[in-house]
């Protein structure tokens, strides 16, 4: 299983420069990450609701520190949890370990123990680790108290949801990056609908974009409701 741990590959789409936020606390979180190698805090625990940009932040951290010749590894637990816990062997050798959705392993005994031992190795070797989670470190979902104690060390920061201005920027960024043929006013129209959480909005943009590819036609405002009802 250890061969599944691959060296971080640069992702130019997700950087601190294109992380859109108008929330001062979120900006302070980014600043804390950028300074993680400059202070004694070896770990940062970031939590917030789904689709609040946590994965973007982790990839941005890998991009940022890769430029400073730091060895980074990104662990998306929604994928890794499908494998044996032995996949974590050797992770502590990296300079920066970014664990996305660590809350997915909460309550699973073998995974909780594996992360407890991994974190001890990382901290003993003065390596750096950043976690993201949809719930905070006080969650009752964590069965292993020693793990819960370790996760509370260092900084514990909450990511807040963004306003509609930022959400629209994110949707337009996706349209541009994916080269979807969608009219500019569609993003603002979607923000006035009932399902306005970022996950739902992103899913709708992808559905409209895939429709534009399959039909080879531009998606205009008048087409949106019909396409989304399919």
Give residue-wise pLDDT tens across range 164-195: 898 899 899 899 989 999 999 999 999 988 77
**What's the pLDDT at 143?**
95
Give residue-wise pLDDT tens across range 76-90: 999 888 877 788 888
* Domain 2-158 coded CATH 3.40.50.300: yes
CATH number listed for the domain at residues 164-228: 1.10.8.60
Return the SS3 of 195: coil
pTM (predicted TM-score): 0.84
Calculate the alpha carbon distances from 29 to 40, 77, 175 in Å.
16, 22, 27
> How far, in Å, CA of 183 to CA of 15, rounded?
26
**Residues 190/211, Cβ–Cβ less than 8 Å:** no
Calculate the alpha carbon distances from 71 to 43, 62, 137 in Å.
16, 9, 27
User: Helix count (H) and strand count (E) of the chain?
Assistant: 9, 5
Domain ranges of the chain: 2-158, 164-228
pLDDT tens digits in sequence order for the chain, 230 residues long: 333 444 555 666 788 988 888 888 899 999 999 999 998 889 999 999 888 889 999 999 999 999 999 999 999 999 888 877 788 888 999 999 999 999 999 999 999 999 999 999 998 989 999 999 999 999 899 999 999 999 999 899 999 888 889 889 989 989 998 999 999 999 999 998 877 788 889 999 999 999 999 999 999 999 999 999 87
Return the SS3 of 43: strand
């Amino acid at each position: 299983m250890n061969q599944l741990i691959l060296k971080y590959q640069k992702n130019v789409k997700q950087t601190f420069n294109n992380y859109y936020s108008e929330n001062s606390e979120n900006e302070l979180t980014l600043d804390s990450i950028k300074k993680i190698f400059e202070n004694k805090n070896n770990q940062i625990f970031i939590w917030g609701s789904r689709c609040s940009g946590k994965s973007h932040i982790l990839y941005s951290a890998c991009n940022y520190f890769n430029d400073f010749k730091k060895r980074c590894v990104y662990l998306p637990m929604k994928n890794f949890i499908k494998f044996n816990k032995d996949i974590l062997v050797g992770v502590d050798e990296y300079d920066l370990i970014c664990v996305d959705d660590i809350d997915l392993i909460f309550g699973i005994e073998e995974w909780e123990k594996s992360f407890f031992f991994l974190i001890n190795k990382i901290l003993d070797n003065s390596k750096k680790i950043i976690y993201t989670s949809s719930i905070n470190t006080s969650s009752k979902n964590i069965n292993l108290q020693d793990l819960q104690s370790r996760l509370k060390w260092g900084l514990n920061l909450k990511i807040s949801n963004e306003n509609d201005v930022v959400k629209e920027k994110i949707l337009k960024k996706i349209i541009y990056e994916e080269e979807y043929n969608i009219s500019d006013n569609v993003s603002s129209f979607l923000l006035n609908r009932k399902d306005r959480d970022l996950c739902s909005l992103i899913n709708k943009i992808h559905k409209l974009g895939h429709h534009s590819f399959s039909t080879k036609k531009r998606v205009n405002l008048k087409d949106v409701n019909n396409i989304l009802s399919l």
